[in-house]
Chain A
Amino acid sequence: MYAYDKYDHAIVSARVAEFRDQVERRLSGALSEEEFRPLRLMNGLYLQLHAYMLRVAIPYGTLNSVQMKRLAHIARRYDKGYAHFTTRQNVQYNWPKLVEAPDILQELAEVEMHAIQTSGNCIRNTTTDQFAGATNEELEDPRPYAELIRQWSSFHPEFAFLPRKFKIAITAADKDRAAIRWHDIGLVLKQDAASNLGFEVVVGGGMGRTPVIGKTIRDFLPKDDLLSYLEAILRVYNAAGRRDNKYKARIKILVEETGVDIFTKQVEDEWTRTRNDGIDFPAEEEARIRAHFTPPPLEVLPAWSDLETISAKDPKFSSWLRNNTDSHKVSGHRIVTISLKPHGGIPGDATADQMDLVAELADSYSQSEIRVSHEQNLILPHVAERDLPALYKILNEAGLGTPNAGLLTDIIACPGLDYCALANARSIPITQAITNRFNDIQRLEDIGELKIKISGCINSCGHHHAGHIGILGVDRKGEELFQIMLGGSGDADASKGILLGRGFPADQIVGAIETVVGVYMDAREEGELFLHAVRRLGTQPFKEALYGNA
């Protein structure tokens, strides 16, 4: 993975010193809150219901074991013994003290991490496929491009005060695990007819109160032109994006209001004018960065014959193997998803002890590498098949072995009203109620792939628009109600969920989900997944089951 050079170290250290001075001036009263607020947000420090919240960037979701141990140490030393992995491959601490925030940033800088650009109207952490560099489904590892984008966008002076925040995601596989069509810019690595590498460029996706699926503005952009083209898009957006209304300030609104054809022409014109200005990376810089992503020295092994035998004797291990491991590009290895979704637990939360354990397991079994998925799980990307039984045993004993990846209880949920100052309703208790009800793995496997995503407000941090079942918490005269939508998807065939009707009180939402699942189970065809059944049936049978024919 990428390692800081002397410039990276100098920049991040200088930022820590600068923020330490700003905090001291705030505490002394030399800076007012009005003056200080944008400065703390530039360093990822929010104020939530109970305390400050620090959001730490995990570039494209890649961590090494040393970094994970440091995150655990920070949770223990400066917070309350846990951290929360987010839907943008970041990590959040819910209880840091302002006075200690500079010390936390110093601790992060020592392991080549920071919280820069995790807030504010700037280009945020570029996200990607959590299986990048390990999956046999990708054209090549997309992370070197994500790192190039990170370096280009970090402290980019022209894009420090955009109309609104800006999120980029990239994938190199047909199966989109990064929800790229729901981002301001989504990039799909492709090959043209002559086997040259390039990108499909998708613009104007986003969730929030106006959900929009991104539109392709270029079918194929040669890879060497990536940064100049991104710069052209950002320039058009920066100049023309609305600044009069924050709810209409995202690029998705600009694309919708301008029209995709005119917007595309504006980008192409800007690119024609600026593409030779030296924005694109020179080949030697690409090579320097790419060298950091050299695949680990995994031994090519034959498929481990004992795996099937062991699996046949242990149904729990068998479920975990089936649901929580994926094929690897190197024979004899698997990609392991560590579920942070224990039934009845809080999605994305991990204790400091669990984080330390994952770091140790990464050292023992996965080339010291860890990934964070936007679905709020952790990944060990390079595990030998022969190590899987021992790894599962350790994970299971630590509460990290729930075999539910991709199943109904692998729920994405925002922190909701239990933590978030913006939320209208609580997401986590709804998640817990659902996962407590659907806690039988055999039943979950029978239901099959079904992604539930829950947000506690219209800002959609829980990605409810992209849920096969989406749940949105709303406040109606002081009562928390939960609306259900069906048919959303974050995958390559992205789609927006369709609202079924009025919201349900908290104590009725589990029953409503049971009803929806029941309709699917009764109506599905052989092997038909939930999402496909909803697309075939439409929402009417589900509405009738939930609300009757009235």
Chain B
Amino acid sequence: MGTVSPLGIGCREASRALRESGDCVAPVTMFDVSKCRSKTAGHAPSLPADDERLHPASRMMIAAALEARAGDAGFVPECAVIGTTSGGMSDGERYFRTQSTRQRGQGALIANYPAQRPVLDALRALGSTAPAQIIANACASGSNAIGHAFRLIRAGIHDRVLAGGYDALCELVYVGFDSLQAATTDKVRPFDRGRSGLVLGEGAALLTLEERTSAQRRGAPILAEVTGYGISTDNHHLTQPHPSGIGPELAMTRALADARRGPGEIDYINAHGTATAFNDSSEGVAIGKVFGARVPVSSTKGMMGHSLGAAGAIEAVFCVLAMNERFLPPNINYREADPAFDLNIVANTAREAELRAVLSNSFGFGGTNASIILEVAR
């Protein structure tokens, strides 16, 4: 697996930041936020590229792909299933700003704008022409991609699938969340009583999923197993979940059933936990209903912001790191429990723990909800 996020380049840097409760949210400088309420975001480190025209999303995807290949050079994908929301939107923005004057390079902006471009660039970096399915289920996309890839392998349709997600910061989406007053002027405080919203982040993560006997046959390192996937659609509202938490509840119970696991067998939940009033309330209620207050819960978005279509994939990488390195990632900036739900929050600092099975949630606009279950490799 490979990842780039505000927590750093590569799994090693991410793991260190998770253990050290790094707050990687910083002021936005890449576009004007003077008229926005929110002023901060989680920025991924800038990455060099041979081709200066490469969009930041492509650079992150290529870096994630090359890290994944470095971990398993023999992995040849039969297809790629990738999640995103806004693709190369910032190139579209630059095109809009320059369209009234003919300028050199406008053609490249148009060619790099489509959401499939960073996926193609990553496949090209791997020397692959595998077909790509690009899921745009808003902020659930990354988990949807991993879940669908897992099901393809389990059904015997494919043996090896490159799965993951990406998104790069852009002005349109930043202002969009600001206009909805979903973005905070404070720190990101998932599940805290005083939470006041999210900040955006960015990043990419790719996981090489392979049918177990196929991986064993070629001696590939098996880092973890995906064992369950649940998806649901909540039709309550385009941007707000039903307050009862029915959407998340269905996704989580379907993932548990898919993995043939009971709630008591899950050792950690990496929550969607955006720190908006609506999400955390709905998700908190749903986790309480399905799991009670036993299982440790944290949202890692306090450290790096919400990376939208990449979030589910990045958080899946975090879950694998947590299982293999035996720790619970922290839910930073947490001060006071919200009486609306009763959760065992991993407050502020990482904790040592033996994790056998973990669940990761991702929910998005449009009422899309996805949960995946990952387990230690047997």
Determine if chain A interacts with chain B: no
B interface vs A, CB < 8 Å? none
